[in-house]
Amino acid sequence: MWLIYLLFLIGGMYAPGIYAQRSDTISVSSPYVIPVHRSGTPPVPDPLPFRAIRVLDARFDTAKVGYMNIRYRLHPLTVKGGLSGGLSAHFQTAMGAKLSKSDTSTLLIVVRRLWLKDWHNAGTRENKIVHAGDKTFATRVNACLEIYRAQDTTYIPLFRLDSLFFFRAPLGRITEAALLEPFYAAIEKAGALPADRSRRMIGITEWNRHYEAARSLTCLTKAPPAKGIYRTYKDFVNNTPWDIPFTVERDNQTSHVMIEDGGRKTILRELWGYSDGKQVFIQSGFSFYRLKRTGDAFEFYGSEFLTHHFSGYDNSVNTGADLVVRALQYKNKHKEERRPLQIDMESGRPL
């Protein structure tokens, strides 16, 4: 009987995690298209002090707004009609009754960052080992929107919304609500702003230059990457790694970079990642994961933390079979939960 239990336990150790992939390549199925047809009008000022609402997608990766796991398959999240066209049409229709009939300006929402993902409250950058029983799955939206009042070829910067939005429901149940929430927050704030004619105005040439400069990163134009250690994200962006001999040592759940220091090998603990001269690897959690370029952004299939699974054996039993089970449980009590992660091109952190 104990042999059957042992085989079941070993099989469970290699069962697929939250996403059924084993390699470090993000393998995806067909896109999941978010339909934007939310009924009702959000609580925004009435009337809104502009004639139209327009959304402009200025993200590094405009192909998707995240991934969603459906029956252990990854589906890129896209927006019906595209993020710019679909949302512009939606807001113009949903808020048409509240838009000003006399004002001639347009509320312009420039999307710099927007990422939807399944999330649980146990995993943070400060808490890299979490307990399986503590996890409460929910939805997190990471958004950065820059808001302007546009008049012909002139733009007036109003504010920048850079926030995290949390929902208690899983992403699969609230994709549309999660997508729209940052935009509703921006529209509500913009509509409540008092008229201020002293705000600085910028022309279209300066406005275009601002967004073109944000995308002119060396890591997007120079290939292959130079070999070495990226002590900071800035080193990766500028392709200026620390040129020092190093090795990477790995075990089942962790890996670390070793450097030569006075003839002795030491572990380098503070670093962003490294390059072998062909590919780049980012540090996340307790290991390093290969970066893949998608559009003008970078993604990796990895983990931000290890999950601790409690042992379930009975301490009163001390048979030979039980000792084997204990050893296997102890060895595998910390497990990775890999998922697709995209890095924030401003900070270098996983979104």
Mark the ranges of the chain whose per-residue pLDDT is less than 50. 1-22, 122-134, 310-320, 322-331
Query: Cα separation of 84 and 64, whole Å?
Result: 12
pLDDT on residue 244: 87
Q: CB of 145 within 8 A of CB of 161?
A: yes
Supply 246's token pair: 């190093």
Contacts of 222 (CB under 8 A, 6+ apart): 239
Q: What is the pLDDT of residue 6?
A: 41
Return the pLDDT at 85.
93
Q: What pLDDT sits at residue 282?
A: 92
Cα 74–chain centre separation: 15
Helix H or strand E encompassing 322: helix 320-331
Residue reference for tokens 């990471």: 142
Asked if 253 and 246 touch (Cβ cutoff 8 Å), the reply is no
Unique residue bearing structure tokens 């699969």: 172
Residue range 299-316, pLDDT digits in tens:
998 877 655 554 444 444
Helix (H, G, I), strand (E, B) or coil at 246: strand
CB 228 within 8 A of CB 264: no
Question: What pLDDT is recorded for position 238?
Answer: 92
Q: Is-contact 58 345, C-beta < 8 A?
A: no
| Whole-number pLDDT of residue 264 | 81
The ranges assigned to domains in the chain are 31-216, 228-342
**Integer angstrom CA distances of residue 97 from 51, 52, 167, 294:** 11, 11, 29, 39
pLDDT score recorded for residue 23 = 53
What distance in Å separates the CA atoms of residue 115 and residue 51, rounded to the nearest whole number?
28
Are 266 and 259 a contacting pair, CB within 8 Å?
A: yes
Find out whether 111 and 83 touch, Cβ atoms under 8 Å: yes
